[in-house]
Amino acid sequence: MPTIKLQSSDGEVFDTDVQIAKCSGTIKTMLEDLGMDEGDDEVVPLPNVNSAILRKVLQWATFHKDDPIPVEDDDSKEKRTDDISSWDADFLKVDQGTLFELILAANYLDIKGLLDVTCKTVANMIKGKTPEEIRKTFNIKNDFTPAEEEQVRKENEWCEEK
């Protein structure tokens, strides 16, 4: 089985199946652009992903390696968050920091399936909450001045999203 070496930001090298690694659009492009053959001793550096996160990403990719390629969503209004598989739900039972890193890693590595499922998880954590509760959950600092907050509140009086 052809493998490829992926190196995280903190120097750890992961020997990975090429097919699994190619679920990341970024790695796929790198391999094709750099003309890397499998089996070379070449290492693909991933400076934006640390080893703990890369390990988790590869775990996800290994489980999902047989998934069909996700198509680009059309602009349908029907986006659902209740279709996260139980394996994914368990996989994402992590602390906020790890979830955050996974989102960034999925974005950097261009893994649509992982990005979608992490975004859905975050969306599920926002549902039904007040702004204060959302701030607490996600460690968001309220950078509105009282005047700005008042302005936004007033605009919302007259604005509806349908």
Partner 1 sequence: MAFRAGIGSFRTRSIGKDGTELRSPELLPPYDANFDEFGPRYADLPMEILVNIFSYLTPSDRREAGLTCHRWCEAAHHTAFLDRFWLVLQRIQFDANEPPVRMLLDSFRHFPNVQLREVDFERLGNYFQQFGPHIRRIAFDACDLQERALFAILSHLAGLRSLSIRSCRDLFMCVLLFENPTERAALRQTLSGVTELSLAHIQYLSDAILHRLMEIMPSLTSLGLPGCNVSFHPGLYRKFYPGDRKQPSESVLTFQYIAQVIDERKALLRTLDFSQTLVDDNALEVLAAMGPELQLERLELERCEQLSGRGLGTLLRVQAAHLRELNLSRSYRVTDSCLVQICQEVPGLRVLKMRECRAISNQGVRQVVQLAQLEVLDVSYCKAINGEGILEGIASKRNETLRELYIGGLDLSERSIIAITENLPELRVLDLGYCFHAMSDLCLQFICRNMVRLTHLTLDGCRKVSDGGLTGLGMLGQMQRYLQADTEVPPESDPAIVAGNGQQSAENGQASASPPAEERQPAVPQAPPFRISLRSRAEQEIVNDAERKRQLMEAMQQKESLKQQASSSSSSTAAFSGYSIERLQQLHVLNLAGCNSLTDVSLLFNFRLLELRELSLSACKQFTHEGIQALVRGCPAIEKLDLSECFNIKDEAVRQIVLHLHRLRELSLRGCYQLTDYSLDYIACHCHRLRVLDVRGCKQIDGEPARRLANLPQLTTIRPDKANDHDTSDVRFGYGGSAMPPGAPPPPVGLLAMRL
Binding site for partner 1 (CB under 8 A): 9-13, 26, 43, 45, 47-48, 50, 79-82, 96-97, 99-101, 103-104, 107-108, 110, 115-116, 119-120, 122-123, 126-131, 134-135, 138-144, 149, 151-162
Query: Rounded CA gap, 120 and 117, in Å?
Result: 5
Tell the smallest beta-carbon distance from residue 83 to partner 1 (Å).
10
Nearer to partner 1, 66 or 157 (CB): 157
Tell the smallest beta-carbon distance from residue 134 to partner 1 (Å).
5
Nearer to partner 1, 66 or 71 (CB): 71
Tell the smallest beta-carbon distance from residue 93 to partner 1 (Å).
16
Q: What one-character-per-residue DSSP string does 13-54 give?
A: EEEEEHHHHTTSHHHHHHHHHHTPPTT-S-EEE-TTS-HHHH
